[in-house]
């Protein structure tokens, strides 16, 4: 028996029409070196139509890929809306990729057009000659004449292109299962892998972002979106904002603690999202230059584990609730959000908040042991996390032969190791490649990092396993000390004595100016291990 319901495509064209009309007065606010500039969603809708008309004239007539090389700003939101809505495919290029990776992903996606921010033209220009399929480059927020393009590539001014176009466009009816956007992940071995999101997956994911058990993005909110639009679709926040009419505060290239503090003071957003390293820097800024940020109701932090000490500092010193979330490029990226059950109070509520969170109805999860058996949700059994659902990748771009080991019997193998409680809360203990096996026992690098970062003199701490003749592996702790503070390896080891088991206490310590980071701001443990292997670290052995 079939239903009697109407059948409409969950396309981003429909989302754009809705956001630019029903929520036409909501704003996208872009930070500049002289303050903020503002556009309404109604204006975004008109500019999206202009951009779509311009791209038709440049040969984007079907599902050609249009890449962005952009900061978080109003222009990028317009592009986010226009490209999928016109039936083309958005490809967000990560501006922090290594040059050879940047060239690889542009060629692999077969980008036809690249839209680049004027401040990033010098960075793109170095790699553009190697991007074999690019025919047009559009320069936004800058002088197009500064880009000397290789033969066969035409350069255009974003503003001039749009000025010549109509602000009306006949948005096509699009199959909701067709590709809307592509992101590449470097979290796997070898070349970056492409994840092609569908219109349907983005629509469903956007709805979840707005739900009460998720990020709770709501009409009338102003959201400071620091998580880059080139990283996992900015955690789905741009599309969710169009869906419910939340205004967006975009930091553009001003990502340092001082301008972020200025944005907070001037615009007073209720919501913000970024990786832990951003908020660690902001806390140091607020320590040096106190200001009230209690209007900031919630900060969603993901990308890597949040130290409990950071959660408590935001809550107790600034009145800001930190909401822990987990996800990855392959999960669109929302996988789980840590909102405690209503009945949980005190330490029990904090324990839930420390976790990576509870799975929503659309994400099914399981834990798989070393022998391939499925483990129970008992809060104790530890295994590799596998997930499936309507916004979870089922393959990489290019088909089943691309890293097939990442997908198992219809499940995505996340590479994360953890445990799940009976009520569906996930706690990750490590990445499979980062867990430390010492004397036949497992040591969680994440748990050690969180414990060390609880020390008041520590700004950052990253833990990796290094070879040991007796125990196979032992932890090495790389520590960044806060400016104006001092602490020794002996003091830190003593600090840990009542926080971790005695056999887990690290005897290998190194003090560094900065922990190396990946292109998305996570600790780059692969580089840290390489520094150790190459003898580049000054290590204290206790």
Annotated catalytic residue: which of 173, 442, 503, 514?
Answer: 442
Count Cβ atoms within 10 A of the Cβ of residue 527 and give its class: 0-12 exposed, 13-18 middle, 19 or more buried. middle
Annotated catalytic residue: which of 27, 330, 386, 449?
Answer: 330
Token pair listed for 483? 């400016």
Please say if 176 is a catalytic residue: no
Number of neighbouring beta carbons within 10 Å of residue 216:
18
Please say if 330 is a catalytic residue: yes
Q: In sequence order, which residues have a C-beta less than 8 Å from that of residue 257 and are 6 or more positions away?
A: 281, 282, 284, 285
Q: In sequence order, which residues have a C-beta less than 8 Å from that of residue 250 and are 6 or more positions away?
A: 28, 29, 30, 31, 71, 72, 73, 74, 76, 77, 225
| H/E stretch holding 68 | strand 65-69
Structural contact between residues 277 and 305, judged by C-beta atoms closer than 8 angstroms? no
Q: In sequence order, which residues have a C-beta less than 8 Å from that of residue 320 and are 6 or more positions away?
A: 293, 294, 296, 297, 298, 299, 314
Question: Which residues are registered as beta bridge partners of 509?
Answer: 477, 540
Indicate the SS3 state at residue 511. Answer: strand
CA distances from 232 to 91, 186, 222, 388 (A): 11, 12, 21, 17
Please say if 364 is a catalytic residue: no
Structural contact between residues 100 and 79, judged by C-beta atoms closer than 8 angstroms? no
Please say if 421 is a catalytic residue: no
Token pair listed for 368? 């798989």
Annotated catalytic residue: which of 68, 92, 185, 518?
Answer: 185
Annotated catalytic residue: which of 126, 258, 433, 437?
Answer: 437
CA proximity to 352, closest of 376, 377, 379: 379
Count Cβ atoms within 10 A of the Cβ of residue 268 and give its class: 0-12 exposed, 13-18 middle, 19 or more buried. middle
Give the separation between CA 462 and CA 475, rounded to whole angstroms: 10
CA proximity to 366, closest of 399, 409, 303: 409
Q: Provide the annotated active-site residues.
A: 185, 330, 437, 442
């Amino acid at each position: 028996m079939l239903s009697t319901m109407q059948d409409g495509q969950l396309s981003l064209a429909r989302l754009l029409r809705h956001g630019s009309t029903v929520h036409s007065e909501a704003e996208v606010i872009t930070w500049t070196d002289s303050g903020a500039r503002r556009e309404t969603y109604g204006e975004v809708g008109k500019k999206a139509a202009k951009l779509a008309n311009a791209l038709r004239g440049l040969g984007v007539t079907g599902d050609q890929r249009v890449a962005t090389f952009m900061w978080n700003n109003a222009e990028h939101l317009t592009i986010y809306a226009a490209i999928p809505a016109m039936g083309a495919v958005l490809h967000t290029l990560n501006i922090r990729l290594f040059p050879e990776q940047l060239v690889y992903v542009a060629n692999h996606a077969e980008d036809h057009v690249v839209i680049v921010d004027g401040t990033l033209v010098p960075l793109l220009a170095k790699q553009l000659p190697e991007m074999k399929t690019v025919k047009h480059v559009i320069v936004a927020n800058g002088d197009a004449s500064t880009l000397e393009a290789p033969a066969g590539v035409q350069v255009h001014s974003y503003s001039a292109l749009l000025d010549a176009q109509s602000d009306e466009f006949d948005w096509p009816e699009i199959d909701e299962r067709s590709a809307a956007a592509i992101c590449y992940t470097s979290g796997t071995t070898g070349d970056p892998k492409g994840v092609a999101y569908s219109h349907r997956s983005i629509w469903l994911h956007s709805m979840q972002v707005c739900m009460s058990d998720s990020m709770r993005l709501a009409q009338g909110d102003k959201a400071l979106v620091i998580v880059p639009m080139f990283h996992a679709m900015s955690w789905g926040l741009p599309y969710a904002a169009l869906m419910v009419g939340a205004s967006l505060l975009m930091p553009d290239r001003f990502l340092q603690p001082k301008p972020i503090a200025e944005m907070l003071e001037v615009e007073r957003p209720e919501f913000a999202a970024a990786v832990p390293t951003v908020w660690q820097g902001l806390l140091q800024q607020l320590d040096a230059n106190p200001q009230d940020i209690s209007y900031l109701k919630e900060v969603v932090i993901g990308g890597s584990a949040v130290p409990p000490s950071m959660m408590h500092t935001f809550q107790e010193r600034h009145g800001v609730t930190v909401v822990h979330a987990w996800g990855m490029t392959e999960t669109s990226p929302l996988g789980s959000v840590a909102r405690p059950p209503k009945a949980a109070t005190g330490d029990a509520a904090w324990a839930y908040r420390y976790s990576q969170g509870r799975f929503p109805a659309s994400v099914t999860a399981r834990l798989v042991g070393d022998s391939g058996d499925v483990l129970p949700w008992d809060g104790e059994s530890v295994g590799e996390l596998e997930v499936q659902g309507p916004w979870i990748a089922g393959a990489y771009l290019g088909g089943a032969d691309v890293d097939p080991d990442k997908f198992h019997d219809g499940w995505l193998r996340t590479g994360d190791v953890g445990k799940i409680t009976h009520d569906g809360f996930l706690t990750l203990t490590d990445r499979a490649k980062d867990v430390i096996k010492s004397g036949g026992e497992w040591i969680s690098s994440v748990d050690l990092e969180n414990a060390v970062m609880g020390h008041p003199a520590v700004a950052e701490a990253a833990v990796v396993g290094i070879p040991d003749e007796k125990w196979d592996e032992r932890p090495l702790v790389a520590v960044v000390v806060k400016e104006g503070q001092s602490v020794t390896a002996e003091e830190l080891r003593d600090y840990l004595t009542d926080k971790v088991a005695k056999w887990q206490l690290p005897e290998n310590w190194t003090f560094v100016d900065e922990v190396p980071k990946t292109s998305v701001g996570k600790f780059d443990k692969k580089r840290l291990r390489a520094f150790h292997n190459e003898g580049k670290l000054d290590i204290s052995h206790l």
